[in-house]
A and B are shown apart, each in its own frame.
Chain A
Amino acid sequence: MTNTIPEYTTDSYDVAIIGAGHAGCEAALASARLGCETICFMVSTDTIAMMPCNPNIGGTSKGHLVREVDALGGEMGKNIDKAFIQSKMLNRSKGPAVHSLRAQADKQRYSNCMRAVMENTPHLTLRQAEVSELLYEELPDGTKRVTGVKTVSGAIYPCKAAVLCSGVYLNARCIFGEVSTYTGPNGTPRATHLTDSLIAAGIEMYRFKTGTPARIDRRSIDFSVMEEQRGDEPIVPFSFTNTPEELEREQALCYLAYTNEETHRIIRANLDRSPLFSGDIKGSGPRYCPSIEDKVVKFPEKDRHQIFIEPEGEYTNEMYLSGMSSSLPEEVQIAMYRSIRGLEHAKIVRNAYAIEYDCINPLQLYPTLECKKIHGFFSAGQSNGSSGYEEAAAQGIIAGINASRYVQGKDGITLDRSQAYIGVLIDDLVTKETHEPYRMMTSRAEYRLLLRQDNADLRLTEIGHEIGLIPEERYQKFLMKKQAIEDELERLSLAVLGASREVCETLVGLGSSEIHTATSLLELLRRPELSYESLAPLDPERKPLPADVIEQVVINIRYEGYIERQLQQVEQFKKLENRKIPADFDYDAVPSLRLEARQKLKLFRPVNVGQASRISGVSPADISVLLVFLTRVLRGEAQE
């Protein structure tokens, strides 16, 4: 079709971002803020930073990602701080590594706030248009290089780099029961041409599936029979640039309801009409976000499932039914939802549906998110087979940074598994074969004790500043916080109490035990029954410190043993991570590699020995062989 439309060449840019969802927004902002003339395309400006599924940002491990994006200088944390209507720190009773921040968002406000930032960022142009082709030139070595993008209307935008952030829009199909609509989420336009162009460029595509529950009119719900779910007071901001006091506001309520045997009976009786079970849906769905029909089939022993009923925002009466996504036919959905206590008279505003879409096989990417075959072509978010707003934003900022660095002739930035959840996420995507949408989980992070949401700024602000996304003023504030933590740790280690009767009595009074030799305050803080606050009577020298400084001090003291152990593991890990493998490395020249390992390594082209060691089918012996060979290459070059 596009062939019949006359082409014309229009304005050129440094970087083109294809899509303005959560990946696209971060990518566009990072690229523009780093000085690249950036154009961001979307099928409709109404879809900028749209939240077509759950009405929240954060949650376990996802909250970590948001704080990391913020520490690097991204926008998501600031934006949810503007748009949240309820905030909660999950897992407070567990260790600090798994404390996870989650906020309910006013979806419309979230989208509007982000749109305002996008529209007012220098060097950033927004353009409503469907990108239909990626334009590139062939290079003598068989690789390709991006030269521009083309839209369905025939406009050619010359550019040096392009970032694919197409979300679930490529050849999207929404399905419930026997009904299919060929649209993007929420009935938005889909993108029908780009997949073919990518395939023609040699990109391997996957087809994935996800789903969303129905939205119910608030006025038709009987909340009196449900449990209320309240937010925290005071709240913890997502962005390190905000304080709790600045963000104080009235918080909305969520509600807890349950499915029952009747709900399950209705689902079972209609399974043959579910496109998931009839075989109509071919795309691979995620295991962690199953539809209610999946749950009922897979866990027949459970007689009820929890459902959280959450507001979509303050602008609307629509309520989201978390835990009940479905692709059953409309009338079955009505019966199913109405079988739930409190939802007997529920009126559906929007049906639940499943959505199928095209994405790329992310093994084709370097950890910089640049495509191995096409220089200057990057991809981020659901188009890389991930799921979730936060996973998308995390990849978006990295892709945006690296697209701009590519244009500016700088080396790409990567975070490794010991630095950030972002590093774990991207390493998993580009190294491990996945056949379902990928969701972040804290159990995927082997050094999770170090990768806490509370220290994301300590881990990444420095890097964000070096890249150029953290302004000087924020950086200076950060340095002061860092210094304050070190100073206080030192002070506590030097503040030694004698084993006097007074001291001992105070300790016993605090529910602790006596000391028998001189003991530092730092040592006392290791005792789980003592808190920083409770030790105040024994610490007259203490000066008031911000809560976030005290938090770091206490965590460092209390979990030192475990933290120390993980740091040692990281040291081992870094050894292999620092052994780079040249991009044009010839694996056929390495003798004694096993056939399977050789094939995998040739296919994946890992950037360092650490990444090579995580490829399934590559054994420790193969890694040893590789190390020996790389040493030989190095030494051979040194001799020449």
Chain B
Amino acid sequence: MSTDTIAAIATGLSAGGISIIRISGPEASSIASGIFRVGNKENLSMPSFEQWESHTVHYGFVVEDDRIVDEVMLLYLKAPKTYTREDTIEIDCHGGIVVTKRILSLVLSHGARLAEPGEFTKRAFLNGRIDLSQAEAVMGIISAKNDLALRNSVKQLRGKLRTRILSVREEILNAVAEIEAALDQPEYYTLDGFRERLSESLERQSAEIRRLIRSADDGRMMSEGIRTVILGKPNVGKSSLLNALLEEDRAIVTDIAGTTRDTLTEEIRVNGISLVLVDTAGIRNTLDPVEEIGVRKAREQAQEADLILFVADASVPLDENDKEILRGHTNARVLALLNKSDLSPVTTEEDLKNLLSACGCDAEILSISAKDGAGLNELRDKISGMFFSGDILTDDEVAITAERQKECLYEAEASLSHVLEALSEDMPEDFLSIDLMGAYGALSRILGEEVDEDLIDRIFETFCLGK
């Protein structure tokens, strides 16, 4: 039986409906009693889990410091008749990514650990809930969810933010290397003046981590949503499609950090689902070096996509370039759009279908006109349909990834404050190493990197050790 209690958002990205936060483990009810209140808004009282029967639903509020965060339904499930065979609590909240994540943060700050990819299912299995014949499926889920989480983690953390985390991490590692070199070769290296330098550097690094946490809270750090890449030859109407989809959503369009000049990224809602739309440079075989960069970027974007919107131009014949673009991406979910249906078509849905099957792609085809808006509603319905039916392989991991990264930042910050505390208590330097490495490890987890030999390598790079 596991000893710790885990939590995660159990529902997907749907911004409209109900979101569920699931908590599983021995501390589930004590964690919930820290944030859940029953009664009415004017008269909140503590829940009495010990008196409640298992498998009952309770109306109440999630609170933070006595302030109401959301009105929720709480499902109370006692072991062993639960999915994980552990005490389980599910909080159904009114949704909205922001509120859901805030509740999850509260649950985590009250002692739960963020679940690893597929961990509920893993526990269900390890606790005997799932029988042997299903073990293979369990392993498949763990590994698929983890791949997805990694993919999301990497694609959500790009550009500047990555650089900022790297630079904090770098400075921490240098400090540890200095300590360790002096400990290893006390007759060659002293730590005179080190404590002053370290405490100054720690103030700076902690401030930077707090800034990173704030930007995570603002939602600026990572873009969340189904990563949708618009692909097609030049001039088939990709940008018009983007603009058309953005039209009524203008109000909630946000700029996303990491936007490159070669691709344009926008966030929109489609039937309540978040979509990150990436408009790429048109792909075609090119010898022009500048354009080639754009094409390469477009291909990279497509590699990371959850959904590809392939746009073809109905007013001109299909050619080798269309084929070439499709060829590399038969693994991702693709919707094929025949644009410019308002003009007299040269290419039919039938032609496009032939091209698709020649490329081994079984995408559905929609005729649209980005210019007059024909077919766009069908397109929206199609996308949300694919999402809800699970055809688009994205799930809670997208939202969770951001939370996981934030958790790591909090951990790094806490470790650094331990170091400051130890400095003020005049603890010997080898104690400082412990929490400095803790912070280093936490930051490395955000970047998805193994840290194993980093310290040893750094010591040897920077310090001349020898006998």
Chain A interface (Cβ < 8 Å from any Cβ of B): 54, 60-61, 90-91, 93-95, 97-98, 287-290, 294-295, 298-299, 302, 305-306, 308, 322-323, 325, 432, 441-444, 448-449, 528, 559, 562, 565, 590-594, 614, 616, 619-622, 624-625, 627-629, 631-632, 635-636, 639
The 3 closest A-B pairs by CB, nearest first: A621-B146, A95-B428, A592-B139
Of the candidates A98, A444, A528, A629, which one forms a contact with B456 in the assembled complex, judged by CB atoms under 8 Å apart? A444
Interface centre among B122, B187, B450, B453, by most chain A C-beta atoms within 10 angstroms, is B187
B388 CB to nearest chain A CB (Å): 26
Judging by beta carbons under 8 Å apart, are B466 and A289 in contact?
Answer: yes
A631: which B residues are within 8 A, CB to CB? 125-126, 135
CB nearest to A632 among chain B residues: B135
Knowing A288-B460, A443-B456, A631-B126 touch, does A528 contact B425 (C-beta < 8 A)? yes
**B 180-198 to A, binary, CB cutoff 8 A, 1 in contact else 0:** 1001111110000000000
A625: which B residues are within 8 A, CB to CB? 139, 142-143
- Number of B residues whose C-beta is below 8 Å from A? 47
- Docked pose: A592 CA to B138 CA in angstroms: 9
Judging by beta carbons under 8 Å apart, are A98 and B430 in contact?
Answer: yes
- Docked pose: A61 CA to B143 CA in angstroms: 39
- Docked pose: A449 CA to B122 CA in angstroms: 33
B434: which A residues are within 8 A, CB to CB? 449, 562, 565
B52 in the interface, Cβ–Cβ < 8 Å? no
**With contacts A288-B466, A562-B431, A628-B125 known, what are 12 further pairs, Cβ within 8 A?**
A54-B467, A61-B184, A94-B183, A290-B464, A442-B184, A443-B456, A444-B456, A449-B431, A620-B146, A621-B146, A628-B138, A631-B125
Judging by beta carbons under 8 Å apart, are A95 and B140 in contact?
Answer: no
Interface of B is mostly: helix
B316 in the interface, Cβ–Cβ < 8 Å? no
- Docked pose: A290 CA to B463 CA in angstroms: 11
Judging by beta carbons under 8 Å apart, are B467 and A621 in contact?
Answer: no
B42 in the interface, Cβ–Cβ < 8 Å? no
- Docked pose: A93 CA to B186 CA in angstroms: 10
Judging by beta carbons under 8 Å apart, are A93 and B456 in contact?
Answer: no
Judging by beta carbons under 8 Å apart, are B456 and A620 in contact?
Answer: no
Judging by beta carbons under 8 Å apart, are A97 and B126 in contact?
Answer: no
CB proximity to A under 8 Å, residues B130-189? 132, 135-136, 138-140, 142-144, 146-147, 176, 180, 183-188
Q: List 26 A-B contacts (CB under 8 A).
A: A54-B467, A90-B186, A306-B187, A322-B467, A441-B459, A442-B184, A443-B183, A562-B431, A562-B434, A565-B434, A591-B136, A592-B144, A593-B143, A614-B452, A616-B450, A616-B452, A619-B146, A621-B117, A621-B118, A621-B147, A624-B116, A624-B142, A625-B139, A628-B125, A628-B135, A631-B135
A264 CB to nearest chain B CB (Å): 12
Judging by beta carbons under 8 Å apart, are A592 and B140 in contact?
Answer: yes
**B 101-136 to A, binary, CB cutoff 8 A, 1 in contact else 0:** 000000000000000111100100110100010011
A95: which B residues are within 8 A, CB to CB? 427-431
Knowing A442-B184, A449-B434 touch, does A628 contact B456 (C-beta < 8 A)? no
B435 CB to nearest chain A CB (Å): 9
Judging by beta carbons under 8 Å apart, are B183 and A288 in contact?
Answer: no
Of the candidates A302, A432, A565, A614, which one forms a contact with B464 in the assembled complex, judged by CB atoms under 8 Å apart? A302
- Docked pose: A395 CA to B129 CA in angstroms: 45
A325: which B residues are within 8 A, CB to CB? 466-467
B397 CB to nearest chain A CB (Å): 12
- Docked pose: A288 CA to B467 CA in angstroms: 8
- Docked pose: A639 CA to B147 CA in angstroms: 33
Knowing A298-B464, A443-B455, A631-B126 touch, does A98 contact B143 (C-beta < 8 A)? no
- Docked pose: A90 CA to B142 CA in angstroms: 48
Of the candidates B143, B184, B187, B433, which one forms a contact with A308 in the assembled complex, judged by CB atoms under 8 Å apart? B187
B187: which A residues are within 8 A, CB to CB? 90, 306, 308
Judging by beta carbons under 8 Å apart, are B143 and A620 in contact?
Answer: no
B140: which A residues are within 8 A, CB to CB? 591-592
B381 in the interface, Cβ–Cβ < 8 Å? no
Judging by beta carbons under 8 Å apart, are B139 and A443 in contact?
Answer: no
B372 in the interface, Cβ–Cβ < 8 Å? no
Judging by beta carbons under 8 Å apart, are A323 and B466 in contact?
Answer: yes
B426 in the interface, Cβ–Cβ < 8 Å? yes
Judging by beta carbons under 8 Å apart, are B139 and A295 in contact?
Answer: no
Judging by beta carbons under 8 Å apart, are A443 and B464 in contact?
Answer: no
CB proximity to A under 8 Å, residues B202-220? none
B126: which A residues are within 8 A, CB to CB? 627-628, 631
A622: which B residues are within 8 A, CB to CB? 143
B246 CB to nearest chain A CB (Å): 37
B431: which A residues are within 8 A, CB to CB? 95, 449, 559, 562
B465 in the interface, Cβ–Cβ < 8 Å? yes
Interface centre among A528, A592, A594, by most chain B C-beta atoms within 10 angstroms, is A592
CB proximity to A under 8 Å, residues B435-461? 450, 452-453, 455-456, 459-460
A593: which B residues are within 8 A, CB to CB? 143
- Docked pose: A481 CA to B136 CA in angstroms: 53
- Docked pose: A409 CA to B319 CA in angstroms: 74
Judging by beta carbons under 8 Å apart, are A441 and B428 in contact?
Answer: no
